[in-house]
A = this chain, B = another copy of it.
Amino acid sequence: MTQWNQQARDRAARLEAARPYARGKYVAAADTVALLQAVLRPGDRLCLEGDNQKQADFLARALVQVDPEKVHDLHIVQSGITLPEHLELFEAGIARKLDFCYSGPQGGAIARALEKGRVEVGAIHTYPELFARYFIDLTPKVALIVARQADRQGNLYMGPNTEDTSTIVEATAFKDGIVVAQVNEVVDTLPRVDLVADQVDFIVESPEPFYIEPLFTRDPASITETQILMGMMAIKGIYAPYGVRTLNHGVGFPTAAIELLLPTYGERLGLKGKIVTHWMLNPHPTLIPAVESGWVRQVFSPGAEVGMDDYVSARPDVFFVGHDGSQRSNRMLAHNAGLYACDMFIGSTLQMDLEGNSSTVRTDRIAGFGGAPNLGSDARGRRHPSDSWLKAGREQAGTDGRMPRGRKLVVQIVETFGEKQAPTFVEQLDSVALARKLKLDLPPIMVYGDDVTHIVTEEGIANLLMCRDLDEREQAIRGVAGYTEVGRGRDPKAVEALRQRGVIRRPQDLDINPLDATRQMLAARSIKDLVTWSGGLYAPPARFRNW
């Protein structure tokens, strides 16, 4: 007779094996390695919570200490590969297969581990895609999560850093998996309950508070005049004519520049209240002047940002805040909101080819995609109209008489030359060569050219919606690619024709004088300015303080 509860029996056996190391749900920090050896089995699918912000770092340090004879060939399924320990798991043979979304600082290490055959990459996902697979074909057997506090019953408090946790736990706990949480402290009463005790099996009080990366902090002092020029073009050439009210900004200096130009340049253009009222965004410190100036009506966030907790708590009309007064974040819900309820995504990339395909993956650095593939794609299932969405749809539809449809704006804002003077525009993406070398099914593309509507560089704006074929698209891209080889390879007549049609627009076409693009235009020119704007509520991490 078929057993229909093998997962529950397996779970019970693991809980029994873990019993010597726990009192109720509570495990002493010193027993963590033993606990993990008791609850893990070779080949398990494991989520070791680590996204682009908070890290279950104590559990990560414990996991690398398990005996690879006992625990090996784990299949890691988690949004971020960001700590050195995440890679050590593969070096030690504890883990073998990897499905992930983002790897900031570990991009180089992943490339090297791939090269050496130490890691087998399933796919580089975008956040909601990996979360989707948690419920279909990549359900974690064990989740190692992180919270700020636990109470004596085992309820957890995450405060501003809910991020991925509720989604991970929903998939794991309701499929007879095992959930282990590290917490900064155990208290009598939680400010609020973010995760109920019933869904948590074990709790470890870690010796040190968990690590959070201030990923979305950009120092205004590092914003260049080129980036300011690009920001002015974006505001006047895209935000204004489309009337973009709902949006997401990627991480990067050009979008930080835009945030800081709203209260100055945006104000001068009379755009306040007409654009950028509703956001899906982490609490970027560079958004503070726009919030304080009344530009921003509402912000929902995938995560928190280090130093912004008090500021967000003091602005509950703008941010999502619980009855305890601290922020609520949720990466899954925020990225769904970015996909379906935002009229625009604007972000940067490392490389872009002649069709507009872009990628942050290079042969020596597998940086991952994070939210960009999701946010930077048109939601084909969207049905609610907005002026921006309808206008973009009309531009794309052209005159071919098909059923009318709206369109999301997907804007890539890049300088023609990036870090170390590497050209942003290339004939072929590095990821194509990488795919060939690693025999991947498809080259890892962050945003496909078909999904991009506009490219902004210091040379101008290219409107890809208005390009009637791939040849026009290529010339539109070359036409804003500056002095890169791709840019120099343009057909000057074709580019001029595109400019006449308004497909390409230069600063002067927008009546923007590049000489006006000075740092005086920024509402804040330093981290300290941001602190001042916040009325002292923003508490930047030490590395951003130079006073």
Chain A residues within CB distance 8 Å of chain B? 2-8, 99, 122-126, 128-129, 131-133, 135-139, 155, 167, 170, 173-176, 192-193, 196, 198, 245-246, 278-280, 294, 298, 300, 314-318, 320-324, 328, 330, 332-334, 336-342, 353, 355, 357, 369, 373-385, 390, 402-406, 441-445, 448-451, 470
Contact = CB atoms under 8 A, between A and B. Distances in A.
Contact of A132 (B173, B198, B340, B376): B340
Chain A: interface secondary structure? loop
Contacts of A334: 135
10 contacts: A4-B317, A122-B384, A129-B340, A129-B384, A135-B337, A137-B245, A137-B298, A198-B323, A332-B336, A404-B442
A394 B8 CA distance: 41
Contacts of A122: 384
Given A317-B5, A320-B135, A328 B381 contact: no
A376 B382 CA distance: 11
A136 B279 CA distance: 7
A321 B128 CA distance: 22
Contacts of A198: 192-193, 322-324
Contacts of A374: 381
A35 to B, nearest CB: 19
A318 B8 CA distance: 11
A132 to B, nearest CB: 4
A384 B125 contact: yes
A339 B136 CA distance: 11
Contacts of A196: 155, 192-193, 196
Contacts of A176: 316, 321
Contact of A442 (B336, B406, B443, B444): B406
B383 A126 contact: yes
Given A4-B317, A128-B381, A373-B381, 5 more contacts: A5-B317, A132-B338, A135-B341, A174-B328, A198-B324
A216 to B, nearest CB: 18
A170 B369 contact: no
B135 A443 contact: no
A290 to B, nearest CB: 13
A449 B278 CA distance: 31
A336 B443 contact: no
Contacts of A384: 99, 122-123, 125, 129, 133
B383 A328 contact: no
Contacts of A138: 341
B136 A300 contact: yes
Contacts of A174: 320-322, 328
B316 A123 contact: no
Contacts of A135: 280, 300, 320, 333-334, 337, 341
Contacts of A324: 198
Nearest to A129: B340
A437 to B, nearest CB: 16
A376 B383 contact: no
Nearest to A136: B341
A336 B441 contact: no
Contacts of A378: 380
Contacts of A333: 131, 135, 167, 170, 332
B381 A380 contact: no
A14 to B, nearest CB: 14
A256 to B, nearest CB: 21
Nearest to A376: B381
A427 B278 CA distance: 40
A325 to B, nearest CB: 9
Given A294-B2, A321-B174, A355-B402, A380 B380 contact: yes
A82 B359 CA distance: 45
Contacts of A441: 385, 390
Contacts of A338: 132
Contacts of A123: 383-385
Nearest to A404: B442
A3 to B, nearest CB: 8
B341 A133 contact: yes
Contacts of A124: 383
B320 A132 contact: no
A436 to B, nearest CB: 12
A390 B442 contact: yes
A136 B380 contact: no
A131 B336 contact: yes
Most-contacted residue by chain B among A155, A379, A402 (CB, 10 A): A379
A441 B389 CA distance: 11
Q: Which 6 A-B pairs have the closest CB atoms?
A: A132-B340, A123-B384, A377-B380, A132-B341, A374-B381, A136-B341
A458 B284 CA distance: 56
B442 A132 contact: no
Contacts of A342: 136
A315 B4 contact: yes
A355 B320 CA distance: 43
A316 B136 contact: no
